[in-house]
Structure formats: structure tokens, C-alpha cells
A and B are shown apart, each in its own frame.
Chain A
Amino acid sequence: MSEDREPVLSVRGLKKHYPVTKGILRREVGQVKAVDGIDFTLYEGETLGLVGESGCGKSTAATSLLRLEEPTAGEVIYHGEVPEETNRKTPLEKLRTIRGDDEAREPNDVVGFSQSQLKRFRRKAQMIFQNPTGSFDPRMTVGESVAEPLLIHGLDDPTERREITEDLLERVGLDADDYDRYPHEFSGGQKQRVALARALVVNPEFVVADEPVSALDVSIQSEILSLMRDLQDRFGLSMLFISHDMGVIREICDRVAVMYLGEIVEVAPTEELFRNPQHPYTQALLASIPTPDPRQRGLGIELTGDVPSPDNPPSGCRFHTRCPKVIQPDGLDLPQEQFRRALDFRHQVEGGDVDADGATELARARQSDAATGDITRDDRRRALRAEFDLPDELDDPAAEESVAAAVDSVLDDDLESAGERLSDTFTTVCEREKPELERTDENHVAACHLVDGSETVETATTEVADD
């Protein structure tokens, strides 16, 4: 659906890494890879949703593609009219040119824009923020805040600024008299209307909306969403809409990009994505939408394990530590759930999160109050297995042998050999190889080893999504 439209903005391999520094010399000891190479294209007049859990890098992606933060790497190609270079370089830019560490960039790459170009570019790209309270200067009237972009971009006539602002305030459903009121006199929904006005006032080509309705009541959310849709239709805006709420995404977006730990794992038109999600993470997200039907309660896919830290993301497919559909090696033939549990056990052992004392504690906790007998080694074995939801006997003999040996090693406090034993048996291609984004349908791409594989991804979630 979007192929025949003109692209507005193409993001290519955008990365934003935050250095983790230590000591007074600010020695870099690591990096938080908040955004680690994302690609997408925003087309004219469309709303592209960017969805993912909290902390997966959605907002960082937004701020770095607008260069509110300098991206670490990547290109942001702007397809509109590139502001001309007014050849006034700031001292910092000059220094950078002298040092020559600025790689050659396309002339229409936002990352390569000079400060003067960037300022002109800002008029065409506006942003809306999540927190309606924090995004207004408490010392400025609402009107001054809305008119500020006009002033910044050189509209010097105060009367004209005021007229434009009052007109716009009325068009977003407020009153012209609100110009002289202060932000704290408004409710959250009203403030978000003002935020819309501020984003629109310089007539931008596209708007990045960073969770614009997450802080609002549900009833207000739909008002704001329909206002956004109206304004978008009227002015032909493109929008990058960031949210963690699949319900909101479904309501407003034309296409959706799903992010996990700084990477995009799936992009598809909204209908297609909800009907036929390809990536297991998308499926899990969709399954997490609460349904009003009490009979369908709890059929969702549950994710196990913690969200990995972005300063040390997992190798291969980043989702493999939590993926319910993680691929088994050829030699094994376990039920999927058991394999998942065994992998969780392995990660915990490797991470040093279990030990013999812990197992004793677990066993003691499992013993009912009445039982007073000593804790046998068998008790502890069972407790450890129960903790990881591992059945007493795995279905595959090779796997069972490995788990049993590992449990014994753990009880002997020999985590190293336990880890070795487990990692020999429970391996997965997801951990070794990084899946590329693959096209499954005309407009549908997903990054998973299962995609294009023999397994067809038809799950219970499709029913949920189809209502």
C-alpha cells in the first residue's frame, strides 16, 4: 500500500550507543546499545507505528533520528527539499572538518546536516512528547509556548504570531483566550492538544509522536487520537507514532515496526501484522493485549526470563533468551516448552544465579511445615528442577542425561562443568546466528530464523487479533 507513495524519511542502520564511563578520567568501560542498527522508511501521509517494551530504544530512536541526540552511526535520508547550506560553520564543525573524522555523507542525510541546515530542517520535523506536564515551560504562557517555533524560525511580527496561534488553538479544540493562560491551568488532555498545536504551528512535513497518549486516561486517549487523525488527514502529515500500547497502535497506525532491544524485528501493515504476526516477539506482544472476552483469558504466550540488559545484548537473535519458539538442535526432540525451560536453566547456571545453598533453601521452602526430616540430596534435586519448571524426567534421553548431570554438578557447587554440560546439549541456531530481516509478503518483513522455514506461524494469537 505504501509503495506508490513518496518516501519522506528513510532511516538506514541508525545506531545510538551510550558510553558507560568510570572514574574521573571518564574511561569508557562499556556501551549501552540503546538503538543498534534500525532501518525503516516513513512514507508521505502515513502513520508508522514503532512499538516495543519499555526500554527497547523506541524513544532513543526518535530523538536520534531528529538529531536531538547525535546518532552513533547510520543515515537518516530526508527526501524533502534539503535546506541549503548557508556555509556558516560553528567552531565545533570546523574542528571536526580539520580533524577529518566526518565521513562522507549524502547531501540529504540529516546526520550530516550543518547546524544551520539542521535548524531549517527542524521546521519540517516536529515532535510531541509523552509527558504533557513536563513538555511546557511553566514560566511561559501556553500561547508563548505554541508561538515559540514561529519566533525561532523568524516570524518577527508579534500580531501575526498571535493570530496564527489563536487560530490554531481553536482548531485543536481549545479557546483563543487560552493564549494567556499558564500550563498548570490545563488538564493533561488539554495540554496534549496544545502540544499538537505547537507541533503543527510551523506546518511541518512529519511529526514524531513519542507516546503522546500514554499519560492520559483511556477516554481522553481516544479523543486525542481522533484529533490527531483529523489533523493528519487535513494537512497530509506523515507521522512516526511511538507507543508500547498495541491497542493504540492498531487504532492509528497504517504500518507498524516492532522493536526489541534496539533492533527492529518485524515491519508490516497494521492489519497484516495483527492477523499474521511472523516474529515470536510480535506474537507475544499481541497476546498481551487484554481481551474483553472472559473465555479467552490467559491463552497468551508468556515470556520467561528477564529482559536482557542493552549494555550486553545476547548474541545471535536477541530474543533467543526469552523466545518461546527457540529452535532446537537437530539431535534433540523435546516438547518446545521443556526445551525453553532447559535453556532458561542453562542461562541461569551460566550467569551464576544458582548454587548449592540456593537449592537447599528452595528445598526447605518446598517442604511443608509439618515435615521435619532432613533435606536429602533428592529433595534438593527436585527443588531445583521444580524451580525451573523442569519435569522429573525429560522426554529426550540425551537431554535428560545432560540435565541430571548438570543438576548434580550444581549441587556440588561446580557451576562450570554444569554450564559446559548444558551448553553442549542445549544449543540453538538462534544463539549462534543473527537472523536478517526477510520478506515474507509484499510489505511484510521479519527477522527470525523461523520465517521462511518450514514452520508456519499460525497461533492462537491470530484469533485474538481477528476479534
Chain B
Amino acid sequence: MAASDADERARFEQVDWDAVEPSGGGVGRRSALFLASLAVVLAAFWYDFAVASPDPLFYNVGLAEGLKEPFTWDVRGIDWLFSVSLLVFVFYVLYPMYENLDRTKAYFDKLTNNRAATFALGYVTLFFFGGVFGPLLVGQPSTDIPATSRPPVSAATPLGRVDLFSVLVVGSLCALATWGLLDSLDRGRELGGFGDVARVLVRVGLGFLATFTLVGTVFNVFSLASFRTAAGIAAVVGVAWGLGWAVRSGRSFGVEQLRSTAVVLVAFGLLLVVGIELLQVVIYDLLQFDPIAGGASSTSCPAYAEAPGRGSNCYGTWDYPLGTARYGQGLIPLVFTGMRVSLQVALICSMLIVPLATLVGTVAGYVGGVVDDLLMSYTDIQQTVPAIIVYMITIHVYGRSLFVLVVVFGLFSWAGAARLVRSEVIQRREADFVTAARSAGAGHWRIMGRHILPNVSNTVLTSVTRQIPNLILAEAAIAFLALNNIMLPSWGETISSQLKFIPDGWWMSTIPVIVLSVTVLSFSVLGDALRDVLDPRSDS
């Protein structure tokens, strides 16, 4: 190796190339970590499957396909695939984002210029954490026949009785409307002043949520302490983080901010009054959606919840803040288990689609010729076979399960992405920088790995993000066709089984419908925004 003088930096002409012995390429740190984690998961899976089969290690940890017991993790089913896909997500999406923090920040800034995309990203983040930790936190939806058909908790207001769920929806819409209104009235000053306050509040909220999720999960799984303790800890952490940020950011909080906040709050309050009045008129009176359980209602409600003059009907109680379904399953656990199912669909299918599409597309595009023809002909043929048909055939052999669903849809949805990747690779293959790398002596693997893949990764990411809503909707559609595992409370299953209780039991299906729509909408918006942000042509 170059013997440079003590005060001299290494220079290229001093390198003694005859003495340079290339050591074979090692595995990177990230891959090593990933492989180690993968080995742990696989070992645990193997242990459960082969050794501890009657009494598995992971029994009683997570969500089983079906309602055998609260907190069961049937590791032989979909959950080990889910763990692997989480590992992949952490090591090949989050870790590279952390590694290239500057680029991530640049993309994040570009993304947040788009208001809709900001909300979408926020929701998708909540969706991810809700899907991973939600079921652990709120438990499984379990039948509780005496609590059947409870409506969401409601309260009497001067404008009439309103329920929690409607207030949440109307409140969010009113918050957006306030923003839009002040924006269109050119009240930038107030928005700016309130923005600082809002930033602090958002941080308090995020800190609370993150801490509560983690601490609550730990407390819940290991039965250490109650939710109240977790909430207390989380509140302290959230407030500390928010205030700490406020101090560190060096922003001044004074009369100006107070005035802005007051203006924003007054505007929001006025809109909220209008919103709730509209809710009363349109939803409750016109559409007969009632915050009091109606014809489908329970026959036995606690004494304190009895609605006067409504016979055996009752108000919602805080036992079940968003109400219960027909067999008394709480809607909050139903929403979060559905979120877990949707997240499993999204992540596992992506884990199958991304490597397949990338591999097929890259090989076809890079090698070209007969290989390209064969691979692309196969892709065309496969595109003519709808995944749902394959699913219908497969469930006749293996029975209905989410496992079959994600595997079939994952294995039959990569064709479009592969075509995109191929065209992108063909474009890149002819680029001068690839020729430059070849003239520097790079081999095919290096060119594919270091030059072509990083340049097509955006295409894959965008395409998959835009595919996810379709997959989630496909799962719901299959539930509607009654081709799913009916013991698994996915959103689609909840919606299709509770739809018949409209309008008396309207909340049972409306709540999952709203969450499902927001999820699908967020992924679509995020996919579109990612396409704009990550398009390399917009770089130059």
C-alpha cells in the first residue's frame, strides 16, 4: 500500500498497484444485522414449529388468526411472515433513510410542501404504529354478549346529544375547514402565530403517543401496571419533550401567540358549532342515525346508561368509547386488529412484490435479448390471471386464511412494477455513468447493485405505495364476497358482517368504513406525492 510521508496525504500516483491485494467483498453492516435478526426469527419459528409444537414459545403474545384466545400469536401462520417483513422494512427502508439523513430530510421537506401529502404521511405513520402495537395495547375484540350493540359514548350539549365518534369526525373536518378559512382570508399572521403553538402541541401529542404505545404495550403484555400509569408516564414525557423543544428552538411565546391562538380557537369553535348543528340536522334527524341505540339495541344496559323514555335503549358508556358491535366486541379493538390485518397485507405483499419486481425487471432490462423476451412474456401472461381467481382456487385446497391471501396477492401483483423497473433499467443501462463504471472495471453485479438498483429504487417504492391501497381494498372485497377467514376481524369482515344493522346500529360498520377509506386515501395521496418527490427528473 502507498507509503505516504507523515505530513503528506495519500496521493494517487503513490499507490503501488502491484502490492494492492483486493480482499473479497464482505457483507455490509446492515446486511449482517439483518441476517442476524432474520436468523433469530427463523430459529424461533423453527423452535415453535418443530420442538415446542404443542406448547409454542410465542403462544399468548400476539394476534392469532381467529379468536381462540385473547393474545395468541400463532407463529406458524401469518405472524412469522409479518415479523420478517417488519425486519425487512426496518433494515431496508428505515435504516437507509437514517443512513442518508440529509437526503431523507430533503425529501421530507419536499413532501411537506404538499399539504395533503403531509396529512397522508402522518396518518400512514399512525397506521403503521397502530397496526404493530395497537392490538397489543387494546387487546383482542372479544365477545361480550351483555354489552351488545352499545353506541359510542355520547354527551348532552346545548345543541343536542352528540356521540364521541361523530364529534371526532366533525372536529377533524372543522379543524381542516378552520385552516382553509383562515388561509383564504389571508390571516397568515394568525396561522403563523398559532403554528408555533401547534408545533409544540404536536410534539406533546407525538411524545405522548410514542411513549404510551411503547410503555403501554410493555405494561400490558407483561401485566406490570395499568394503562393509567402508562398514560401518566407518557403525558410527562410528551409535555417535557414539547416544552423542551419550545425552549431549544428559541421561539418566543408571548402576547402575539396568545392572540393568534385565541383567534384560531374562536374560528374553530364557531365552525364546530355549525358542524354539530349540521350533524344534528343531517345525520341524526334526516338519516336517522341516533346516538341512542335503536331497534338493534341491547336489552340490558347498565342502569346509569338508560335513556329516559326510550324503553330498553341506552346511551353509550366509557366502557366502550366507540361502542360495540353485535356480539359486544368493542369497536376500538376491532379497528386496531383490522389495522393490524391491513398492515400485514400491505407489508407482506410489499415484501413479496418489491424483490420480485426488482429482480425480474432488473434482469430483463439489464440482460436483454431472449431473457428479456421470456421474462416479459411471462409477465404478460401472469397479468392476465387475476389474483382473486387464484385465491379462490387456493382456498379450496388450503382453506381460507389471511396467509393464503397475502401470499397469493403478493405473488400475483408484481407484474406492473416489474415492467416499470425494466423500462427504467433499460434507460439507465445505456447511461454514460454505467459505461464509465464498466470502463473503470466494475463487474455486472457491482453495476447492478451500486448503480442501477439505487436509481430504480424510487420507481419501485412509488409503484408499491400506489399498489398498497388496491391490496387493502382487495382484502375488504374478499371479505365482502365471504371468501375470507370469518374468524379474523379485518375491516372488511367487520364492515360486511355489521352492515345489515344500519341504520339502528350505524356505528358498527361506519367506523371501520371511515378508517378504511382514510387509509386507502392516505396511501394513494402519499403514492402520488412520492412519485413527484422521488422522480429523479425533478432533481436536475
Contact = CB atoms under 8 A, between A and B. Distances in A.
Given A24-B373, A126-B440, A153-B20, A136 B1 contact: no
A200 B539 contact: no
A359 B20 CA distance: 73
Given A119-B441, A156-B23, A137 B451 contact: yes
A201 interface: yes
A80 B109 CA distance: 53
Contacts of A156: 22-23
Nearest to B440: A149
Interface of B: 1-2, 9-13, 15, 17, 20-23, 373, 431-433, 435-443, 446, 450-451, 454-455, 536, 539-540
Given A135-B436, A138-B539, A167-B11, 19 more contacts: A68-B435, A123-B441, A126-B440, A127-B435, A129-B436, A131-B432, A134-B433, A137-B450, A137-B455, A150-B15, A154-B22, A156-B23, A157-B1, A167-B9, A168-B11, A168-B12, A200-B12, A203-B15, A203-B17
Nearest to B439: A127
Nearest to A128: B436
22 contacts: A68-B439, A119-B441, A129-B432, A129-B435, A129-B436, A135-B435, A137-B450, A137-B455, A139-B455, A148-B450, A149-B441, A152-B437, A152-B440, A153-B20, A157-B1, A164-B9, A167-B9, A167-B11, A168-B11, A198-B440, A203-B12, A235-B13
Interface in A89-122: 118-120, 122
Given A123-B17, A155-B20, A160 B2 contact: yes
A195 B433 CA distance: 10
Contacts of B13: 203, 235
A66 interface: yes
Contacts of B539: 138, 184
A63 B432 CA distance: 12
A293 B116 CA distance: 63
B319 to A, nearest CB: 54
B157 to A, nearest CB: 56
A148 B440 CA distance: 8
Contacts of A68: 435, 438-439
A153 B373 CA distance: 35
A166 interface: yes
Nearest to A129: B432
B2 A153 contact: no
Interface string A156-174: 1100100110111000000
Nearest to B13: A203
A135 B435 CA distance: 8
A24 B10 CA distance: 54
Contacts of B21: 154
A184 B540 contact: yes
Interface of A: 24, 63, 66, 68, 118-120, 122-123, 125-127, 129-131, 133-140, 145, 148-150, 152-157, 160, 163-164, 166-168, 184, 195, 198, 200-203, 235
B97 to A, nearest CB: 14
Contacts of B451: 137, 139-140
Given A63-B435, A126-B439, A139-B455, A152 B446 contact: yes
B22 A153 contact: yes
Nearest to B18: A81
A152 B455 CA distance: 20
Which of B373, B436, B450 counts the most A-chain CB atoms under 10 A from its CB? Answer: B436
B230 to A, nearest CB: 43
Contact of A202 (B17, B443, B540): B17
Given A127-B436, A135-B433, A137-B451, A164 B441 contact: no
Contacts of A202: 12, 15, 17, 440
Query: Which 6 pairs show the lowest CB-CB distances between chains A and B?
Result: A154-B22, A122-B441, A135-B432, A134-B432, A149-B440, A163-B10
A200 B1 CA distance: 18
A69 B204 CA distance: 61
B330 to A, nearest CB: 48
B20 A154 contact: yes
A153 B441 contact: yes
Nearest to B430: A134
Contact of A160 (B10, B22, B437, B439): B10
Contacts of A167: 9-12
Nearest to A134: B432
A253 B397 CA distance: 75
A155 B13 CA distance: 13
Contacts of A135: 432-433, 435-436
B498 to A, nearest CB: 48
A131 B540 CA distance: 15
Nearest to B100: A139
A163 B536 contact: no
> Which of B2, B373, B439, B451 has most A Cβ within 10 Å?
B439
A307 B114 CA distance: 52
A202 B440 CA distance: 9
A130 B437 CA distance: 15
From B431, B441, B446, B455, residue with most partner A Cβ within 10 Å: B441
A202 to B, nearest CB: 7
A160 B455 CA distance: 27
Contacts of A145: 433
B17 A136 contact: no
Contacts of A66: 439
B428 to A, nearest CB: 9
A86 B22 CA distance: 14
Listed residue (A119, A138, A139, A184) with the most chain B CB atoms within 10 angstroms of its CB: A139
B432 to A, nearest CB: 4
Nearest to A182: B539
B440 A122 contact: yes
A9 B22 CA distance: 27
Contacts of B433: 134-137, 145
Contacts of B438: 68
Contacts of A149: 440-441
B457 to A, nearest CB: 9
